[in-house]
Structure 1
Amino acid sequence: MNYDATVYHFPSRRNVVYAKKGMVATGQPMAAQAGLEILRAGGNAIDAAIATAACLTVVEPTSNGIGGDNFALVWTKGELHGLNSSGKSPKSIAIEKLKESGIIEMPKHGWIPVTVPGAPGGWAALSKEFGKLPLTDVLAPAIRYATEGYALTPNVAKLWEKAYKDFKMTLKGTEFDSWFETFAPKGRAPRPGETWKSLDHAKTLKRIAETNGEAFYRGELADKIDAFSQKHGGYLRREDLEAFESEWVKPININYRGYDVWEIPPNGHGVIALMALKILSGFEFKDREHIDTVHRQLEAMKLAFVDGQKYVADPKAMSVTVEELLSEEYTAKRRLLIGDEASVPIPGDPTAGGTVYLATADEEGNMVSMIQSNYMGFGSGLVIPETGIALHNRGHNFTLDINHDNALAPNKKPYHTIIPGFLTKDNKAVGPFGVMGGFMQPQGHVQVIMNTIDFHMNPQDALDAYRWQWVGGKKIEVEPCFPNHLALQLVAKGHDIVPQVDTLSMGRGQIIWRNEEGTFCGGTEPRTDGAIAGW
């Protein structure tokens, strides 16, 4: 791993950060400091990850909340563990019921897309399995910020203002009143530098900490969620919450040029990143800015993505297996489809042959890659009164096509976009990485891993470098700093290149690598308010 490369493309250039005893990397300085506070208090990387994640529900509610989901990859004692803490659809929901009421596609807001939130259960599961400190200590920084308030950072304020304007136009029912009371108490979104706090949020975090999450799923918080759902015609009930369990899963991986790249298995779409990298492993790349490099990256990404969109779902409902999607035979067939011109990809048949990310590390050798989301910003637009619980809308990813693997059904997990990543070499941890941002995430993973392995960039360079994003058909969005000569050559190959001024849409990532001496080397996202806290 070469930490000395000096290739920069993003205008907001930062230096790579080193630390010896511990490190926390995330999109909010206050959340990074919360994680570091827990490390200094005797907690390990798992405790620091939980503290950071809980704090992010307060200081970056534009992307995640108590009512969302989370996934994690945990390296401890020489082994990698996977946690899927995403919830299922309510027991009483069904496609037929929705169609009878005139609904022809899954809505973005309101009760219909709300699945059981997994975030509090994920914190409790991580703490129980690997934590050193009690959850009351670990959630204390988040509770403090929610109680005392904090000053908004610029990018959070920008996203908050956008959400407020959108919600003001689209959310009309009384069920949405508590969102505006909680997140726009002055009749508008808070501005950069203004203080925002939520005593209800603090009380809820305190009860989650005191009961190790039980209050949320089987106590007074569950009762409040159930009552609010019944009042406004929702499908979610206490029995759905009571049935929730975080799931420990076996991570999936491929070997890419001597490194093992790890992801969480479906219902998450990390397998898309692995499929694309496996296709790309059949090519040699010497120059990042060569037209063949970018063209092949784009074509491999398309092929992987359309397969993921067709097949990724609740594992119990998938018509193909991860092994089939990642098989050598199927990969070779997909690789042969990459020609000299841009294509409009279609799924193959392998059986024939608004999110936050954080990374933590400690001197004991523990490392955590964790991601948490309410989806599409603030999620469903619903806030449970007197709790600060903003519910996600993850069920929006379900389809109402009964023949699709990802069709809505009772007690089913939807296709999920949040994916933590991890890198190992020779059965030793290199470290956690991730790029948040909806359907950009596997695309960001591919670009960051190739920047690291193929082009020898250090963590900060790998994140600073320009990004592209396939959004459908032949359409490719690129950042303003994307090289003009490459854009012109891609157009000549038939790609539809669309410059994007808003770099937030290109994902927000964090990386922590560990070298042979045990020193941590971290990079944080220049496209947002990212920060690294080292010790």
Structure 2
Amino acid sequence: MFDDLDYSQPYGSARSPVMGNNMVACSQPLAAQAGLEMLRKGGNAIDAAIAAAMVLTVVEPTGCGIGSDAFAIVWDGQQLQGLNASGRSPAGWTPEHFAGHAAMPQRGWGSVTVPGAVSAWVALSERYGKLPFATLAEPAIAYAQDGYQVTPIISELWRLGAEQLKDQPGFAECFLPGGKVPAAGEKVRLKDHANTLKSIADTQGESFYRGELAHAIIAHARANGSVMSLEDLATHRVEWVETLSVPYAGAVVHELPPNGQGIATLAGLTLLDALGVGKHPVDSVETLHPVLEAMKLALADLQHYVTDSEHMQVKPAQLLDPTYLAERASRVSEHAANPGHGSPKAGGTVCLSTADENGMMVSFIQSNYMGFGSGVVVPGTGISLQNRGAAFTLEPGHVNAVAPGKRPFHTIIPGFVMNADGTPLMAFGLMGGPMQAQGHLQMMLRILRYKQNPQAAANAPRWRIEAGLQVSVEREFDQLLAQALRAKGHLIDFEDPSGVFAFGGAQIIQRTRHGYVGGTDPRKDGLIAAY
């Protein structure tokens, strides 16, 4: 598996794969370099990931913030370990609390669950880090204090977010300096953000969950009608979990268990094997039609069954049972279908990858959810809060129905691949809301089954399944292939890569015999920093 990659670049991007012994793959160059700085200081891949993640809250606030949620998968040199740092709903979030609402609030305090990103940084550092936690925060504090130039992509996402969120409590004060959206190339300073990061660094996160910052968060919550309490913050805990995995193309693909959607990627890959995908060229209708049908089957089960693992009505293993999935695969025909869920028998986001010369590899993801998330910013702190509560439903009896102290269904998922012999192969992710499970499957199909190098796989035109028979594809998608898919009943829509989610942003680091090779998404400002 180490040295059988195809290094050709068959797609439009001019980006080439990057090689090195230490590596950070990230959606923003300043964040990637911050991670590399930690590696040069003698830190490990965990230190690099945390430093990069902190910088991203400053330089890419359209996708993540200090009030985000986070997940990670870590190869520590001996074993693979998963981290779920997503927050739970406030204790006061009973169904009665939302009486009179037709649906869960999408923005504002009514969409905010307990933020978990800070707890992820602290937990990862305490368990695996080599450098002092305060050292990891230094680059982010410096960029927030001294300023950075906003990139064109982030300026546009900032504008789109501000159009919707400018009236949310605290948003304009923090994110509309001088009353306007920062233009591309404009220098932005986030001094409140810098002070908050310093407080988090000095207290190992205690101030955020039990100290001064926690009191500021809850004071703002109460002033705006939220029932979130100091106890909700103080009782938040991360959860170390075992990954779910399936064999695929000679390797083993790992995802975190629910409340995330990674299980849909694993089910989809198992369905691809059941359908015999891999005998025709990767960009052919003979390949893509069954791939689309398999992904639809996996997503149908995802939407019906997956929620907080404590509230699941079926076990994840049941959804991944090969016999069950073979029966699901038997439903695929030569024509596009709109499947429902099966009946298994008992039995606005950023992602980054890091790797160091000692073999540690990390896949990390943190997210606001919808762009700037809830739009709520705690005054004087720069703490922008996610809107993960919007993923709950008010439908009585649904597995993802809102309830006190419950984790909502989550779109953000880190990914990891092991070789069949138990050695690590790849840390990867692909941000983009509902695109993520689909994007993970597309990356694995291309890299593992068709041996494309990480950069070529990131460059390739993508598709995204919508409702029913609708499939959105990028403008660069092959026109003849689109026509062939339409002939099979797929409703193909060419879409410009705009908006918060679009077609996602991949960050991939793959191990080779001599080091690492990385790919970063051309749809973002990404950089592979390596030495």
Once residues 107 and 237 of structure 1 are traced to their aligned partners in structure 2, the CA distance between those partners, rounded to angstroms, is 19
1:417-461 per-residue CA deviation (whole Å, 9 max, x = no partner) reads: 000000110200012011100000010000001100121110100
Out of 470, 485, 488, the residue aligned to residue 493 of structure 1 is 488
Q: Match of 2:505?
A: 508
Unaligned runs of 5+ in 2: none
**2:410 is equivalent to residue 416 of structure 1:** yes
Unaligned runs of 5+ in 1: none
Q: 1:177 to 1:328 in 2, by over 3 A?
A: closer
Once residues 97 and 411 of structure 1 are traced to their aligned partners in structure 2, the CA distance between those partners, rounded to angstroms, is 13
Once residues 284 and 67 of structure 1 are traced to their aligned partners in structure 2, the CA distance between those partners, rounded to angstroms, is 41
Three-state SS of the structure 2 residue aligned to 1:222 is: helix
Q: Match of 1:284?
A: 277
Once residues 531 and 77 of structure 1 are traced to their aligned partners in structure 2, the CA distance between those partners, rounded to angstroms, is 25
Three-state SS of the structure 2 residue aligned to 1:529 is: coil
Q: Match of 1:356?
A: 350
1:306-351 per-residue CA deviation (whole Å, 9 max, x = no partner) reads: 1001111011111001100000111111111111111011011112
Q: Match of 2:28?
A: 28
Q: Match of 2:308?
A: 314
1:193-222 per-residue CA deviation (whole Å, 9 max, x = no partner) reads: 101111110111111111111110000011
Contact 1:474 1:495 in 2 (8 A): yes
Three-state SS of the structure 1 residue aligned to 2:528 is: strand
1:215-234 per-residue CA deviation (whole Å, 9 max, x = no partner) reads: 10000011011111111110
Three-state SS of the structure 2 residue aligned to 1:310 is: helix
Once residues 318 and 96 of structure 1 are traced to their aligned partners in structure 2, the CA distance between those partners, rounded to angstroms, is 22
Q: Match of 1:530?
A: 526
Task: Please state how far the C-alpha of 1:78 moved relative to its aligned partner.
Answer: 2.3
Q: Match of 2:424?
A: 429
Contact 1:329 1:353 in 2 (8 A): no
Q: Match of 2:228?
A: 236
Q: Match of 2:15?
A: 14
The number of aligned residues is 524
**TM-score, normalising length from structure 1?**
0.96
Task: Please state how far the C-alpha of 1:12 moved relative to its aligned partner.
Answer: 2.6
Three-state SS of the structure 1 residue aligned to 2:91 is: coil
1:131-530 correspondence to structure 2 within 5 Å:
131-168=129-166, 171=167, 176-282=168-274, 283-285=276-278, 286-351=280-345, 354-425=348-419, 426-502=421-497, 505-517=502-514, 519-530=515-526
Task: Please state how far the C-alpha of 1:239 moved relative to its aligned partner.
Answer: 0.5
Three-state SS of the structure 1 residue aligned to 2:253 is: strand
**TM-score, normalising length from structure 2?**
0.97
Once residues 256 and 26 of structure 2 are traced to their aligned partners in structure 1, the CA distance between those partners, rounded to angstroms, is 19
Task: Please state how far the C-alpha of 1:7 moved relative to its aligned partner.
Answer: 4.0
Once residues 329 and 4 of structure 1 are traced to their aligned partners in structure 2, the CA distance between those partners, rounded to angstroms, is 33
Contact 1:225 1:237 in 2 (8 A): no
Once residues 493 and 190 of structure 2 are traced to their aligned partners in structure 1, the CA distance between those partners, rounded to angstroms, is 40
Task: Please state how far the C-alpha of 1:187 moved relative to its aligned partner.
Answer: 1.2
Q: Match of 1:92?
A: 92
CA-atom RMSD in angstroms: 1.1
1:294-315 per-residue CA deviation (whole Å, 9 max, x = no partner) reads: 1111000000001001111011
Letter in 2 for 1:306: A
Letter in 1 for 2:111: P
Letter in 1 for 2:41: A
Once residues 313 and 225 of structure 1 are traced to their aligned partners in structure 2, the CA distance between those partners, rounded to angstroms, is 27
Once residues 50 and 384 of structure 1 are traced to their aligned partners in structure 2, the CA distance between those partners, rounded to angstroms, is 23
1:450-505 per-residue CA deviation (whole Å, 9 max, x = no partner) reads: 10012111010010011000011000000111111110011111111000112660
Work out the percentage of aligned pairs sharing the same amino acid: 48
Three-state SS of the structure 1 residue aligned to 2:160 is: helix
